[in-house]
């Protein structure tokens, strides 16, 4: 997912088909390796998490985004800067909960699923769960515990793809034991 940027730090564009097809091959392989769809979802999420904790560093190095002061700002940065940078799409941010701790990202097109049709025997597969893991992992690195899941998915017959994000808590920094 992370593109190798060259030394002058302007980002190299990559053909998204290569990425989409590689991702498809990954999901196919996982479906072979695991008995049920839930397990595949879990593995994708876990891989996404591991990507996210590294991707956030690349993101911060390339964009000049500082620390976000509230969840709304975070939502904006994710939708307008991060998705644009890595997937070339800009989801819209909607459905704020009254408390402001929950929102949805609506994806009109999801580059991961460009060539996908889910066969009938994979009803429970959340094809793009990798994205949930990426979002969760990268936000955790900036001290935000967030719950991410797909609320709607065009692959499963919904009209749009909706990723629901729920802020859980701020992760406090702690001084390592034995200091001061």
Partner 1 sequence: MTVHNLYIFDRNGTCLHYGEWNRKKQAGISKDEEFKLMYGMSFSIRSFVSKMSPLDMKDGFMTFQTSRYKLHYYETPTGLKIIMNTDLGVPNSRDILHQIYSTLYVEYIVKNPLCALGDTLQSELFNSRLDSFVRALPFFSARAA
Residue numbers at the binding site for partner 1 (CB under 8 A): 2, 4-5, 7, 9, 53-54, 56-58, 60-62, 65-68, 141-143, 173, 175-176, 178-180
Cβ nearer to partner 1, comparing 66 with 119: 66
| Least distance between partner 1 and beta carbon 3 (Å) | 10
Place of tokens 């909960």: 97
Phi and psi, residue 30, nearest 5°: -65, -35
Cβ closest to partner 1, residue 77 vs residue 89: 77
Least separation in angstroms between residue 179's CB and partner 1 is 4
CB of 98 to partner 1, least distance (A): 26
How is residue 175 written in tokens?
């001084």
Least spacing, CB of residue 11 vs partner 1, in Å: 12
Q: What are phi and psi of 173, to 5 degrees?
A: -80, 140
Q: Is 4 exposed, middle or buried (0-12, 13-18, 19+ CB in 10 A)?
A: exposed
Judged by CB, which is closer to partner 1: 81, or 141? 141
Helix (H, G, I), strand (E, B) or coil at 164: strand
CB closer to partner 1 out of 77 and 151: 77
**What stretches of 17-170 adopt beta strand conformation (E)?**
92-94, 102-107, 144-152, 161-170
């Amino acid at each position: 997912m992370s593109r190798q940027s060259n030394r002058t730090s302007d980002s190299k564009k990559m053909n998204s088909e290569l990425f989409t097809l590689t991702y498809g091959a990954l999901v196919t392989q996982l479906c072979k390796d695991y008995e049920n769809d839930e397990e595949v979802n879990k593995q994708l999420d876990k891989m996404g998490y591991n990507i996210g904790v590294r991707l956030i560093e690349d993101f911060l190095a390339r964009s000049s985004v500082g620390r976000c002061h509230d969840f709304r700002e975070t939502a904006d940065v994710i939708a307008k800067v991060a998705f644009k940078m890595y997937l070339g799409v800009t989801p819209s941010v909607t459905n704020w909960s009254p408390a402001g701790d929950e929102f949805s990202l609506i994806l009109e097109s999801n580059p991961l699923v460009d060539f996908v049709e889910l066969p009938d025997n994979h009803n429970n597969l959340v094809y793009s769960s990798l994205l949930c893991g990426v979002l969760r992992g990268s936000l955790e690195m900036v001290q935000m515990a967030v719950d991410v899941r797909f609320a709607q998915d065009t692959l499963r017959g919904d009209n749009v793809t909706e990723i629901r994000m729920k802020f859980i808590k701020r992760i406090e920094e702690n001084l390592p034991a034995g200091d001061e």
